[in-house]
Amino acid sequence: MRILLLTHYYPPETGPPQLRWSALVRDLVGAGHEVDVITPAPHYPTGQLLPGEDPAQVGHRHTGEHGETVHRVPFRPSTGTALSLLLDQGLTAAHSMVTAWRRRADLRPDVVIATVPGIPTAAAGRAVATLLRAPLVLEMRDAWPDILGGVGDPGAHPARRAVRGLVLATARTAVTLLQRSADLVVTTTDSFGETLRERGVGRVVTVRNAHHELPGEAAPRPERSGTSPLRVIYVGTVGRAHGLETSVRAAHLARQAGVDVVLRVVGTGARLAPVRQLVRELQAPVELVGPVPREEVAEHYAWCDTFLVSLRDWPGLCRTVPSKLYEALALGLHVSASVAGEAAEIVERTGAGFAVPPEDAETLAAAWRELAARGPSPDRPRMRAWLEEHATESGASARLMEALASLTRQRVPA
């Protein structure tokens, strides 16, 4: 099978989408499929070309780590704001369409896959699949367009809110139409897959995120003593949807209640500056480490008593499961979850820790007070068993390949 993947995020960048597709492409190529990837030059998370990367790679193709052919297209440098990211993704999507058309004789895909995040990538996937007469597989990593309902500033000027509301309504309609037009939609959660079916999306399959092995992976640290601080770790994107401000306030409240707690945030994102400002204002017990190489992440996991998973109380996020949750399950880390919906159900079902309502700093602080008193005791055998059944790399690849094979078998030649 010849597979064409359109994605805005791809190795050597590191992040959940990049790790997911690196593993999937590895297994697709290993199974004998030919994979072409159209993607911008590496520029995540800084928005600028990554150090050591050659600007001349744009417009050229090269062989990827797993034997895939990677076609690099331009990007627009971004600053992390929503507008700059949208312009970046839009420019890349446009160049992806042009590249696919110019190289159509070499590509000749049996299937086109477009993956979101990057809503413009979904539109580009629809156009490319139509032009090249191939079925479209649309991967929705998050609950789009539902999570658009949480975007916006309630305190903005009424005229600005009205314009934003019109833009978001248009985007929601466009995304829903794209989903319905796709030959197959891939989701990462069962709950969002069911939502799409209820909206008339014909073919939906769940391919969960998976745990990806860490370089230098370490066992969890020994059980904490009653005199040591409660060490909370957050590793990942400090974005709008994650609501780290709630966790900063919870750490502050717990410290005021007499709990010796330290929250360490490892990562960067659009909300890092506001989070840093809140830490200063509250004098909260929070360490902001910034981004670190993946090789160093294991050291931070070994430091912690509990792993923080956090999402905002936005529509759609209750049908989202952060990929880092699977990493915590695999490592046997206790989980402090400030989430709702399917992610909370997984935490409770596996015995990994506790789940409190999102954006509820008081309840999260109370849970940390109780955890500091009794100590973490995650049910590691149950966590591992659930992970092996639902969220392994090999399982995700097998599920995707089965869906692609079924789709291409049923495809009627034009």
Question: Does domain 2-210+392-410 bear CATH number 3.40.50.2000?
Answer: yes
> What is residue 330's predicted lDDT score, i.e. its pLDDT?
93
Whole-angstrom Cα distance, residue 302 to residue 304?
Answer: 6
Whole-angstrom Cα distance, residue 28 to residue 51?
Answer: 29
Residue 413: is its pLDDT beyond 50?
no
Give span(s): CATH 3.40.50.2000, the chain.
2-210+392-410, 230-389
> What is residue 211's predicted lDDT score, i.e. its pLDDT?
85
Whole-angstrom Cα distance, residue 64 to residue 394?
Answer: 20
pLDDT per residue as tens digits for the range 331-343: 999 999 999 999 9
Q: Which of 297, 289, 293, 290 is nearest to 214 (CA)?
A: 297
> What is residue 311's predicted lDDT score, i.e. its pLDDT?
95
Q: What is the mean pLDDT of the chain?
A: 90
Q: Which range is most confident: 41-45, 162-166, 305-309?
A: 305-309
> What is residue 410's predicted lDDT score, i.e. its pLDDT?
72
Whole-angstrom Cα distance, residue 192 to residue 301?
Answer: 30
> What is residue 169's predicted lDDT score, i.e. its pLDDT?
77
- CB-CB contact of 378 with 334 (8 Å): yes
Q: For the domain 230-389, what is the CATH code?
A: 3.40.50.2000
- CB-CB contact of 263 with 232 (8 Å): yes
> What is residue 9's predicted lDDT score, i.e. its pLDDT?
95
Q: Which of 30-39, 145-154, 334-343, 385-394 has the lowest mean pLDDT?
A: 145-154
Neighbours of 88 (CB within 10 A): 23
> What is residue 228's predicted lDDT score, i.e. its pLDDT?
83
pLDDT per residue as tens digits for the range 118-146: 889 999 999 999 999 999 999 998 777 77
Q: Which of 53-57, 156-160, 285-289 has the lowest mean pLDDT?
A: 156-160
- Give the H/E segment covering residue 224: none
